[in-house]
Amino acid sequence: MKDTQSTRQPAAQGLAPSSAPAFEPAPAKGLGARLRRWRNRKVADPAFQRWASAGLLTRGRASRDGVALFDIVAGFVNAQVLQALVELNILRDLRDAPASAAQLGAHHGIAAPRMRRLLDAGVALGLLDLSRQGYQTGRQGAAALGVPGLLDMIRHHAVFYRDMADPVALLRGDAETELARFWPYVFGAGAAGDPALAERYSALMTDSQALVAEETLRTIGFDDTRHLMDVGGGTGAFLRAAAATQPQMQLTLFDLPAVVPAATAAFAEAGLTARTVIHPGSFRDDPLPQGADTVSLVRVLYDHEDDTVLALLRSVHAALPAGGTLVVSEPMRGGKAPHRAGDVYFAFYCMAMQTGTARSPEEICQLLEKAGFAEIEQPKSRRPFVTSVITARRP
């Protein structure tokens, strides 16, 4: 008999069986645990899967489960198709008129059959439409064009995806990540001394902040606010959005010195210079200025570890008058009810940043209580995948 082992090629990287040691937790007590154990063993049986996929009463559920599982398996490829459509500006170029795969391929230097694969993938994902006239941007693709900052976020995801190529190494913290080098700004004033770095960070945050500001202002209002201070607000995108709802409200921006020139220009362009004071500083090292009756922290806490967050919250507490309000707005994990936005995307994004963490509302509330805040509430957000909001008062 021929020795097939001698001619077999080495296994491709990533195709070897898992080397993780077997883990056998102690059997849990209780009816619920026993039912889940029975269910899992039954569903994991290939014979059961074949029966369920053919049974009249079970095949619908089996099909839905299969589709959902395949969507998870194919998720990275789907995201890379979107990345290619954005990188080639195809969603924008096909917004107003259709084109053929041959036309687009010639324009981008991609063979027509390969371009057709990309465009068909876009159709399958609902990003493009296909008609007799050719390919054109679909409804979801057009929606992507209309979300402020979304295309730039998708473009920078190439960095995040490289960090996610080895998720186990990421979980173990075995290597420095590219995303940590992309966002050194969050490590403090010393890491943000480079104006070009600050400009890159602030531009991306400003573009994406519009959507967060819209959802925050839809969730809560500032009718009773006389003076709003935004801490870590970059070039002031959230302050400008809030100012449009309250024409008499005074504004204070507190952020690192490197962002002051861009922030000053942005407030001047918006005609808000007379209403705005910009305080340069680092909340890690400098006390916050007093005078505001409301302080906002928009997408700030999840950039930092608990010790830094608690120190910041105490600094906000000291800066506010009695009865003053703190507004926290950022993506949050689901806590006891994990959800995809907070517990998948933002949890791993923060892990790749190597600083901070996405927190549940309960975890943020605990930090607020430690800092001395009371009357802590979580108004319901319509789009928690964009942001969630928590408010608190200084007693």
Average pLDDT over residues 151-174: 89
CB 196 within 8 A of CB 259: no
On the question of pLDDT at 189 being above 60, the answer is no
Instruction: Look at residue 195 and tell me whether its pLDDT is greater than 60.
Output: no
Q: Is 380 helix (H, G, I), strand (E, B) or coil?
A: coil
Arithmetic mean of pLDDT, 352-369: 94
Same domain, 191 and 313: yes
Within 10 angstroms of residue 88's Cβ, the number of other Cβ atoms is 16
Tokens of 60: 């619908």
Q: What is the pLDDT of residue 123?
A: 97
**133 backbone dihedrals φ, ψ, rounded to 5°:** -80, -15
- The CATH number covering residue 106 comes to 1.10.10.10
Which residue, of 99, 116, 146, is where some domain finishes?
146
Domain boundary among 117, 146, 175: 146
Q: Which of 146, 176, 199 is the C-terminal boundary of a domain?
A: 146
Q: What is d(CA 273, CA 271) in angstroms, rounded to the nearest whole number?
A: 6
pLDDT of residue 8: 39
Over the Cα atoms of the chain, what is R_g? Answer: 25
User: Is 61 within the bounds of a domain?
Assistant: no
**Residue 32 included in any domain:** no
Instruction: Count the residues in the chain.
Output: 395
Residue 234 lies inside a defined structural domain of this protein:
yes
Q: Is the pLDDT of residue 205 over 80?
A: no
Mean pLDDT in residue range 352-368: 93
- 129 and 185 in a single domain? The answer is no
- Determine, yes or no, domain membership for 152: no
Measured distance CA(80)–CA(167) in Å, rounded:
17
> Residue 204: what pLDDT?
64
3-state secondary structure of 294: strand
CA nearest to 222, candidates 248, 201, 196: 248
Per-residue pLDDT for 192 more than 70? no
Contact between 249 and 275 under an 8 Å Cβ cutoff? The reply is yes
Do 84 and 210 lie in one domain? The reply is no
Q: In the prediction, which pLDDT does 1 show?
A: 39
- Is the domain of 173 the same as that of 141? no
> DSSP H helical segments within 248-376, as ranges?
260-269, 306-319, 340, 347-353, 361-370
Query: Under a CB-based contact definition with an 8 Å cutoff, are residues 352 and 181 in contact?
Result: no
The span from the CA of 49 to the CA of 380, in Å, is 40
**Given this model, what pLDDT does residue 9 score?**
44
As a whole number of angstroms, the longest Cα–Cα distance in the chain is 90
CB-based contacts of 218, cutoff 8 Å, min separation 6: 382
Mean pLDDT of 177-190: 63
Q: What is the mean pLDDT of residues 70-94?
A: 94
**CATH at 350:** 3.40.50.150
Among the ranges given (124-138, 176-190, 281-295, 297-311), the one the predictor scored with the smallest mean pLDDT: 176-190
Residue 281 included in any domain: yes
Residue that is written with structure tokens 């407030």 in the block: 267
State the pLDDT at residue 185: 52
Which structural domain, as residue segments, surrounds residue 172?
Answer: 167-393
Question: Average pLDDT, stretch 146-158?
Answer: 84
- Does a structural domain hold residue 1? no
Number of domains present in the structure of the chain = 2
Q: Can you tell me the mean pLDDT for 347-361?
A: 91
